Amino acid sequence: MTVAQVAAPARRPARRAGGFGLALVAPTVLLLLLVQAYPLVEGLRLSFTQTALARPRAGSYVGLDNYAELLADPRLGKILWVTLVYTVASVLGSLVLGLVAAMVMNVGIRGRGLLRAILTVPWAAPGVATALVFIWMLDSQYGITNWALTRLPFVDSYQRWLNDPALAMPAVVAVTIWKVFPFAAIALLAALQAIPGELYEAAKVDRATALNRFRQVTMPGIAPTVLTLALFLTIWSFRRFELIWLLTGGGPVDATNTLMIDLYRESFRNRQLGYGSAIGVVGLVLSVAAAVVYFVVSRRLGRRYGGAG
């Protein structure tokens, strides 16, 4: 074959396509830079300053003082413990309840669509409305919860659900699970339905017990979904603010004072933006650590189950 003519490499269309893509993402990128990236950097900067809420531009650099103060603060241990308890309890509770709900829904049901629609109610309801109705339902004197519980034979006293340091955390976790588990249930239902029925039939033919079928067929089938869900639920729990804030405000006696609540209190109640930001940075580091753990675990499980995560 002869070379007809020497042609210049045609670069233009490729570059034009790149420009087109960039133009399409530019508005989003600018928005994210303004509202996510810049505040993130600014938050880092603020954590090295002493800044009053009233004059956010007029802070003075104090180096690592905020972090030193935070680490020396005897409350820090309790805050982290409360955050951990809240996160673990609400994630585990949502996953377990969600899995139970999904398995109940996965058997031959007419009107599964309706059931799924009903399951979206807690998830769709605004956090503020949720908080208000639960404050009313958990009211120590007139709430339906206490009334209903005292109908039971073994309960005879009214409880101050949101005002008792021992009960506030369980109450807040319960409300959180109510709001979150349907999301887990719907995601897990989709995963369950994606498992081919033949696998169960094959397992039955091989005389696997129900428990064995769950462990050998169901578990590997839903493992990737459970993992992804666990990550998202953890991140959401970790950063959850409004539900806790409105139900208890972090009280009573700091019993529900998670990192996010404390951060907001320091910044806007105690009006210390610098100290509040330092708490936020610690929180961010912890959630990044959680994500890293997720990726390591999911890769390992992915190798075990094949193609997970």
Footprint (CB under 8 A) of other proteins, residues 133-152: 133-137, 141-142, 144, 147
Footprint (CB under 8 A) of other proteins, residues 233-292: 235, 238-239, 241-242, 245-246, 260-261, 263-264, 267-268, 273, 276-277, 280-281, 283-284, 287-288, 291
Distance CA 36, CA 38 (A): 6
Distance CA 106, CA 192 (A): 7
Determine which residue in the list 129, 152, 205, 211 makes contact with other proteins, applying CB under 8 A: 129
Determine which residue in the list 64, 68, 96, 104 makes contact with other proteins, applying CB under 8 A: 104
CB–CB of 252/163 below 8 Å? yes
**Binding status of residue 28 toward other proteins by CB under 8 A:** yes
CA distances from 182 to 19, 38, 186, 218, 283 (A): 42, 34, 6, 19, 27
**Binding status of residue 194 toward other proteins by CB under 8 A:** no
**Binding status of residue 166 toward other proteins by CB under 8 A:** no
Q: For residue 49, list its beta bridge partners.
A: 61
Determine which residue in the list 62, 78, 80, 122 makes contact with other proteins, applying CB under 8 A: 122
| Count of other CB atoms within 10 angstroms of residue 167 | 16
Token couple for 291:
């994500």
**Binding status of residue 172 toward other proteins by CB under 8 A:** no
Torsion 32-130-123-244 (CA) sign: positive
CB of 130 to other proteins, least distance (A): 7
**Binding status of residue 60 toward other proteins by CB under 8 A:** no
Determine which residue in the list 66, 90, 130, 257 makes contact with other proteins, applying CB under 8 A: 130
